[in-house]
Amino acid sequence: MIAMEPLMEFGLKLSAVGLSALALVNFGMERILHWEEDVARMPLLIREVFRVHGWFISITLLIFAAMSWRFAPEIAAGEAPVYRWLAAGIGAFWAVRTVLQLTYYSTAHWRGNPARLAVHLFLLGVYGGWAGLYLLAAFQP
Amino acid sequence: MKLIALYLAGGVQLAVLAASVSVPRVFDWRGNLRGVDPFLRKLFWVYGVFIVMVIIAFGVLTLRHAPAMAAGEPLARWVCGVIALFWAARLFVQWAVFDPERFLTRWWLRAGYHALTLAFLYLVAVYSWAAWFPEMGGAL
C-alpha cells in the first residue's frame, strides 16, 4: 500500500512550482504569443481591463503557489476544515478551467496543427491534474 | 471588533461582485469586443470568469472562517495576507492604471467609483490588520 500523504505533499510542492511558472508565463503572454498588434487594436477600456485581468490571474496563481508550498504538509494531511476548504477552492478553480478548455475554446485553434494540439493536450492534462490533486486533498477520508 | 470587520469585509467583496455584474453592459464589452480576434475575445471572458471565482472564494472563505482569521491561525493569517495584497494591487490599478474620467459622466457613476475605491481601501486595511496583527501572535 502506497502512503498517500507524502505523495500528495510532494504533488502539492510540485504544483506550487508549476503554478509559479504558469504565473510568470501569463505575465509575458502578450509578447510570447505575439498578441501586441491585436491587443493594440482593442478599444482603450477593453485593452486596460484585458491586461488588468491578466495580471490578476497571475497574482492569483502566485497566491495558490505560495499557499500550496507553505502549507503542503497540512493540506496533504487534511488536518483542519480550513485546509480542506482552501484545497476545495483551488480544486474547483482548476476543474472549471479544465471544463472551459474542453467546451469554450473553439477546436479551430488547434485542428490540423499538431504543435498547437500538443499544447492543448498538455494544458488539459495539467489543469485536470491540478483539479484532481486539490479535490483529492479536499475530500480525502 | 476584528471579527465584525472581517464579516463585513466578506460581505463587501460579495457586494463589489454584485455591483460589477452590470459592468459589461454599462461599458458595452460585447460591442467593444466585436472586432477583436476570436481567441483573445474568449480569453477576455475566461479571465473575467476566473476573477469573479476568486472574489467569490475570498468572500466565502472570510464569511465561513472569520473566527480563525480573527484569532490569527497560521493558514488564516496567510489567507488574509494574500487577500490584502490582492486588493492592494487592485487599489494601485484604480489609481495608476485606469483613467475613468470620460466614463464618470453622472453623479451616481462618480459616487460609485469613489465608493469602490473606499471599499478597496477598507479591504486592504482589514485583511492587513488580521494578517499582521494577530490576537494569537506567533510566527508565520
**Structure confidence by residue, pLDDT tens digits, A95-106:** 999 999 999 888
Contacts of A55 (CB under 8 A, 6+ apart): A27, B89, B93
Task: Give pLDDT tens digits for A5-63.
Answer: 888 999 999 999 999 999 999 998 889 888 888 888 888 888 989 999 999 999 999 99
User: Any idea what the Cα angle at residue A58 is, between residues A89 and A104, rounded to 5°?
Assistant: 70
Contact in structure between B50 and A64 (CB atoms under 8 Å) = no
Mean of pLDDT values over B48-76: 91
How close does chain A come to B133, measured CA to CA in Å?
A: 19
Which residue in B6, B20, B44, B99 has the most chain A C-beta atoms within 10 A of its own C-beta, making it the best mutation to test that interface? B44
Q: Which residues of chain A does B96 touch, with a Cβ-Cβ cutoff of 8 Å?
A: none
CB contact, 8 Å: B56 with chain A? no
CB contact under 8 A, B89 and A49: no
